[in-house]
Amino acid sequence: MTQTPIDRLARATPPTLSRKVRGLSDRAIAWIFVAPTIFLLLAINIFPLIWTVRLSFTNFAANKPNAEVKWVGLRNYERVLTDEGIWASMTTTAHFLIWTLFFQVVIGFTLAWLINRKFRGNDLLTTLIVLPMMLSPAVVGNFWTFLYQPQIGLVNYVVELFTGTPASSFSMLGPGGLAPWAIVIVDTWMWTPFVMLICLAGLRSIPDYIYEAAEIDRASKWRQFWTITVPMVLPFLMLAVLFRGIENFKMFDMVALLTGGGPGNETLLTSIDLKREAFEKWRTGYSSAYAIILFVTVFGLASIYVKALNKVKER
Amino acid sequence: MSRKTLVATAALGLVWAAQAHAQANELTLCWAAWDPANALVELSKDFEAQSGTKMKFEFVPWPNFADRMLNELNSGGQLCDLLIGDSQWIGGAAENGWYLKLNDFFDKEGISMDDFAPATVYAYSTWPKGTPNYYALPAMGDANGWFYRKDWFSRPEIQAAFKEKYGRDLAEPKTQKELLEIAQFFQGREIDGKTVYGASIFTERGSEGITMGATGALYAWGFKYENTPGKYDMEGAVNSPAAVEALEFYKELYKTATPPGYDNAYMEQSLDAFKSGQVAMAMNWFAFFPGLYADPNVGGDKIDFFVNPPQNVAGSTLGGQGISVVANTDNMDGALAYIKWFAQPDVQKKWWSMGGYSCHNAVLNDPGFKDSAPFAGDFLEAMASVQDFWQEPAYASLLLAMQERLHNYVVADQGTAKEALDGLIADWTEIFQDEGKL
């Protein structure tokens, strides 16, 4: 007979507890404990998801509660998938996602590799490096807006100092194609320490005896790096990429404060676009379809990625 | 029931009754967080003294005002008893039952809309537009105007340099093109050892900024939303050659005569640029003019004001709001009492004297009104030629579409003015089709 999770939970319940509650079986007690969680999960996650799917097939607008709600079939999905603006925001999101992941992995791994060596001030340096990720994204968005300000911002002055380009002649958040890179820089600054910490955990989990054995076999440092360090840190690195990938796919606050999606639509990420459709234009049915498409995309990509991660871990 | 339980229940009942009583004697008024709101707090102290009602205020910064308040109304929240909402909201608020219709109340209390400036009644109170169905009392007249550094304009060396370049005296611009020339003249000029710029204008992307700024140019070129009012026939009106020229003008103004990094600026940034001595001219709402005139650094005899200059026609972008009673308030009598008090001519006169822009004829038609403030005459002139954005229930979608199209063209350099306006017609057509109006 197969055991359900409830059965397993019931068996794990201490016998003394079941004896104290008269008239209730172990199974009933287990249900009592689990029920609030299941209820909350259903109420907060599952029900809204099902409701969103339902709304995505209608013309419902949340700001018109008295209007007739019509069933429109797949029309919302068709409109989302044929909307050039949405494909543009998908492209912008992909640009943001790919480049932030690339820079965070390269810089984060490099920092972890350097920090992993024993030297004086190691702990202090580690603490300083992780400071940015302790800040609120709203704070980061606001103060980078000042750093990028062409007349008083530090960034433009540094560029002027090294290149001679006048500070007020360009705007990192303005027109000219720099804004998509400006948001990549800020996210990389803020979240590279997170990737570094995970990589550091991976590096410190490699037993010294493996390197010692490699030394005895006269393996070069380069070979040790590629055949020991990288493969053994890879599952950690992939986990960091998964976390950051999901986070950046739904990035909103920091970019909303930095650019608000502008100039024009140059930094309009899907999450900002979706918020505008849902809560500014009040196209609830349409935005529900948009949200479902995004959900399926993230879920699908994440599932494929997790399978790959498991394969790497099994190696 | 034990004695202890009885005592506890009675105490709870007393607390509840006290709270209910306090709520009945309280009114929450919601508005944007800006200078006139502070004046209203002071003005409302008279109402508190007369009625015994305690006034509470919920002021939200402009960039979040529409988002916050429309969400509040839409969710049936009871935060506000009274709301001074933007003129464009009135269609949606009336059709969705968010605002109380005030006709019966006005009739009962003898409040006549004939006592208020017709343009403000039309814009702030009526839905459908122009019909005698009132959902608000005109509370705060406003339009987008201009102010400039009078002290810079009057300097002999600057006057001479301008005359040499343009062959005329440097003075308040009489047309939009003159405004551009003056702004370009000041762009990058050294004044008192500082580099200054031409003008601060609205370019903000997130809420309504660039639309409110660019319509100042569009209206001056004769822009219309429809060929026939109420028909939603936009082709040839929204993208007329005059509209294209106006939008190209606004882009040139932005590209050649604004401070660096001025790509997402609205009211606050415009005020900052002017107050910090960065710009020679700035656009902003008349609501800020009393505060600017009183500014110790750039106010007084250093500043002067002018109405949005015409090009083909006179036209200014309408701001301002009416005061409405939120339909699901739990203090309806108190809210209506406030409206009745606020509509009185004496209160309206005091409102103007404290920095609020009254729309009452008793104030505006007073022979001394034009001389009561350096910007009063400009305000009257502006209000005579104001034009507002769509006031349709779908106004938010219509506004966001225009924000996107204008910002893409003006700031982000994408496409041409004609393409931007053609795209805008396509967006608006789709919205009106969804609304069942096309």
Written as six digits, the tokens of B276 are: 């910090």
β-bridge pairing B26-32 and B54-60:
parallel
B434: which chain A residues are within 8 Å (Cβ-Cβ)? 59, 283
Above 0.90 for ipTM, yes or no?
Answer: no
pLDDT at B167: 95
Q: Supply the pLDDT for residue A6.
A: 65
Instruction: Name the closest residue on chain B to residue A76, using Cα atoms.
Output: B434
Contact at CB, A174 and B67, closer than 8 angstroms: no
Interface test with B, best of A69, A268, A282, A287 (most B CBs within 10 A): A282
Q: Are B182 and B173 in contact (CB under 8 A)?
A: yes
DSSP string over A190-215: HHHHHHHHHHHHHHHTS-HHHHHHHH
Residues on chain B touching A264 (C-beta within 8 angstroms): 205, 404, 407-409, 411-414
Report the residue of chain B nearest A259, measured CA to CA. B264
Identify the pLDDT of residue A314: 77
pLDDT at A8 over 80: no
- Within chain A, all domains assigned CATH 1.10.3720.10 are found at 83-314
Model pLDDT, residue B395 = 86
The closest CB to that of B205, out of A262, A279, A282, belongs to A262
Per-residue pLDDT of A69-101, as tens digits, reads 999 999 999 999 999 999 999 999 999 999 999
DSSP conformational letter for A3:
P
A259–B404 C-beta distance less than 8 A: no
| Residue A53 distance to chain B (closest CA, Å) | 20
Give the closest of B97, B259, B263 to A175, CB-based: B263
| Cα–Cα distance for residue pair A259/A97, rounded to 1 Å | 17
| Assigned CATH class of B27-142+320-380 | alpha beta
Q: Which residue intervals of chain B bear CATH 3.40.190.10?
A: 27-142+320-380, 144-317+394-434
pLDDT for res B238: 97
Q: Specify the pLDDT at position A16.
A: 57
Shortest CA gap B421–chain A (Å): 15
* In the predicted structure, residue B19 carries a pLDDT above the cut 60: no
Q: What is residue B6's predicted lDDT score, i.e. its pLDDT? A: 60
How many interface pairs between A and B have CB atoms less than 8 angstroms apart? 84
Read off the pLDDT of residues B73-123 as tens digits, 9 standing for 90 and up: 988 888 999 999 988 889 889 988 999 999 999 999 999 999 999 989 999
Q: Which residues of B touch A148 (CB under 8 A)?
A: 261
Work out the mean pLDDT of chain A and round it to a whole number.
Answer: 90
Fold of B144-317+394-434: D-Maltodextrin-Binding Protein; domain 2 (3.40.190)
Helices B35-51, B332-342: crossing angle, 10 deg rounding:
110
Taking the Cβ of residue A280 and every Cβ of chain B, the question of whether any pair is shorter than 8 Å is answered with yes
Residues B278-286 have a mean pLDDT of 97
Mean pLDDT over the full length of chain B: 92
| Residue B57 pLDDT exceeds 70 | yes
* Euclidean distance between CA atoms A219 and A228, whole angstroms: 11
Closest approach of A260 to chain B, Cα-based (Å): 6
Share of chain B above pLDDT 90, in %: 81
| Dihedrals phi, psi of B227, to nearest 5 degrees | -75, -40
The candidate with the shortest Cα–Cα distance to B401, out of B384, B420, B380, is B420
CATH class of the domain at A83-314? mainly alpha
pLDDT at A187: 97
Tokens encoding B130: 């122009």
> Residues B235, B228: contact at Cβ < 8 Å?
no
Q: What is the mean pLDDT of residues A165-192?
A: 92
B435 φ, ψ (degrees, to nearest 5):
-80, -10
pLDDT, tens only, B287-303: 999 999 999 999 999 99
Q: Which residue has the higher pLDDT, A281 or B295?
A: B295
B359, B350, B364: which is closest to B321 by C-alpha?
Answer: B359
Best probe of the A interface among B75, B197, B207, B263, by most A CBs < 10 A, is B263
Chain B, nearest residue to A286 by Cα:
B434
Beta-carbon separation of A259 and B434 below 8 A: no
Residues whose CB falls within 8 Å of the CB of residue A199, separated by 6 or more in sequence, listed in order: A108, A109, A111, A112, A113, A233, A236, A237, A240
Q: What is the pLDDT of residues B118-170, one digit of tens each?
A: 989 999 999 988 899 999 999 999 999 999 999 999 999 999 999 999 999 99
Q: Which of B69-73, B329-333, B351-355, B415-419 has the lowest mean pLDDT?
A: B69-73
Q: For residue B96, list chain A residues with Cβ-Cβ distance below 8 A.
A: 63-66
Mean pLDDT on B360-376:
93
Comparing A28 with A63, which gets the higher pLDDT?
A: A28
pLDDT at site A5:
67
| Closest CA relative to residue B29, chosen from B13, B47, B16, B15 | B47
Tens of pLDDT, residue by residue over B163-199, are: 999 999 999 999 999 999 999 999 999 999 999 999 9
- Answer positive or negative: Cα dihedral of B47, B53, B54, B55: negative
B261 and A149: CB-CB below 8 Å? yes
Contacting A with CB below 8 Å, chain B residues are: 67, 70-71, 74, 92, 95-97, 205-206, 259-261, 263-264, 393, 396-397, 400, 404, 407-409, 411-414, 434
The alpha-carbon gap from B140 to the nearest alpha carbon of chain A, in Å, equals: 25
Rg (CA), chain A: 26
| CA pair distance B125, A159, nearest whole angstrom | 53
